Copies of this chain bind each other. A is one copy, B any other.
Amino acid sequence: MEDLTRYQQRIDSMLERIRFEGKPENLYAPLNYLMDLGGKRMRPMLTLIACDMMHGDVGRAVLPAIGLEVFHNFTLMHDDIMDNAPLRRGQATVHEKWNVPNAILSGDLMLVKAYEFMMKSEGQARIKILETFGQTAAQVCEGQQMDMDLETMDQVRVEDYLKMIELKTAVLLACSLQVGALVAEANEADADLLYDFGIYMGMGFQLMDDVLDVFGDSEKVGKLPGGDILADKKTYLLLDALERGDATQKAELNKWMGVKTDPNKKIDAVKTIYKQLDCENRARSKAEEFFSKADHLLDAVTVEKERKQNLREYAQLLKNRIS
């Protein structure tokens, strides 16, 4: 078995070799630009880890793994247009650097290119991989639409929020693990366990993200705290507070929605209510609940215990990085 550093090397060296080349230049350039902005490459890492864990040939998993990263970047390109975001990883977004029509079209091409990579897994598993990838791609669209819909809705339930993050974020991590298992020709039950592991892990991460945006160590998190509060984002914390707060607390939270002046006062006011309602701990234990469910699923995968170590280590690494 290989180790995490080796997987990362494989991914990085493949990404360095890949250039999206074609004409017109301004159609292809945004693909390279966005891929070159970097990132943790979490999705391809999960694919290689799962493939190796299930006794697969890691080399054969690299191209579909890259396809999942290309797909992820396609969603970023289009989401940034929809969210009107000026920056991505500290650099201009594609629609800012080029323009909206160009970013729509380069995104479309990027989705086509993602499929191209997914097709590059040879053998038995190819059709299954394409099927699970297509299903996941549709769900990610559903998640983004839900996210946009929830932003404009008055009454959002915690339950809807959980469904949204499952679709928008968790299914792609789940699919990444499943693809690794499929390349390894693991049996269906194990591939499904890894898929479900990815769902719970992804949801746990998203909840921790919500917590840390408010209560995290800003140096560690790498951004100013309270960004979600200022942007009126419907996070787990906010929805939990709105569901459980009394009339005064709810009125106070609603009062601050949309307020753009006095950012520090806004953050303090909302945090005060979160503290009154113990929202941080509740979100943390919900996240822990997800992580623990994920753990149990991994226990059930029918492969030698030591082969699961890489995935446990990687999940822990991601958890430490954010918490």
Residues from chain B with Cβ under 8 Å of A104 in the complex: 78, 81-82, 104, 107
Stretch at the interface among A23-31, A202-210, A256-264, A271-279: A23-31
Write the A187-225 contact mask toward B (1 if CB under 8 angstroms, else 0). Answer: 000000000000000000000000000000000000000
Bound-state CA distance A106–B111 (Å) is 14
Contacting pair B130 A112 (CB below 8 A): no
Contacting pair A78 B119 (CB below 8 A): no
| Chain B min CB distance to A130 (Å) | 6
Bound-state CA distance A112–B111 (Å) is 9
Asked whether any CB of chain B lies closer than 8 Å to the CB of A144, the reply is yes
Asked whether any CB of chain B lies closer than 8 Å to the CB of A113, the reply is yes
Contacting pair A146 B24 (CB below 8 A): yes
- Shortest Cβ distance from A138 into B: residue: B112
| Chain B min CB distance to A175 (Å) | 13
Contacting pair B141 A78 (CB below 8 A): no
Interface residues of A in 75-130 (CB under 8 A from B): 78, 81-82, 100-102, 104-109, 111-113, 115-116, 119, 126-127, 130
Residues from chain B with Cβ under 8 Å of A16 in the complex: none
Residues from chain B with Cβ under 8 Å of A112 in the complex: 111, 134, 137-138, 141
Do A145 and B113 contact each other (CB < 8 Å), given the known contacts A78-B104, A101-B81, A131-B119? no
Number of interface residues of A (CB under 8 A): 37
| Chain B min CB distance to A62 (Å) | 19
Asked whether any CB of chain B lies closer than 8 Å to the CB of A3, the reply is no
Bound-state CA distance A134–B119 (Å) is 10
The secondary structure that dominates the A interface is helix
| Chain B min CB distance to A98 (Å) | 10
Asked whether any CB of chain B lies closer than 8 Å to the CB of A14, the reply is no
Contacting pair B109 A134 (CB below 8 A): no
Residues from chain B with Cβ under 8 Å of A105 in the complex: 78, 82, 141, 144-145, 148
Contacting pair A138 B22 (CB below 8 A): yes
Bound-state CA distance A141–B101 (Å) is 11
| Chain B min CB distance to A85 (Å) | 12
Do A23 and B108 contact each other (CB < 8 Å), given the known contacts A134-B116, A134-B119, A148-B101? no
Residues from chain B with Cβ under 8 Å of A130 in the complex: 115, 119, 130
Asked whether any CB of chain B lies closer than 8 Å to the CB of A154, the reply is no
Do A141 and B27 contact each other (CB < 8 Å), given the known contacts A119-B131, A134-B119? yes
Contacting pair B127 A119 (CB below 8 A): yes
Contacting pair A149 B101 (CB below 8 A): no
Q: Which 10 A-B pairs have the closest CB atoms?
A: A82-B101, A27-B145, A109-B141, A112-B137, A24-B145, A112-B138, A116-B134, A108-B141, A24-B149, A105-B145
A residues with a Cβ closer than 8 A to B are 22-24, 26-27, 78, 81-82, 100-102, 104-109, 111-113, 115-116, 119, 126-127, 130-131, 134, 137-138, 141-142, 144-146, 148-149
20 contacts across the A-B interface (CB closer than 8 A): A26-B145, A27-B141, A27-B142, A78-B104, A82-B104, A82-B105, A102-B145, A102-B148, A105-B141, A105-B145, A108-B108, A108-B111, A109-B142, A111-B111, A111-B112, A113-B138, A119-B130, A119-B131, A126-B127, A130-B130
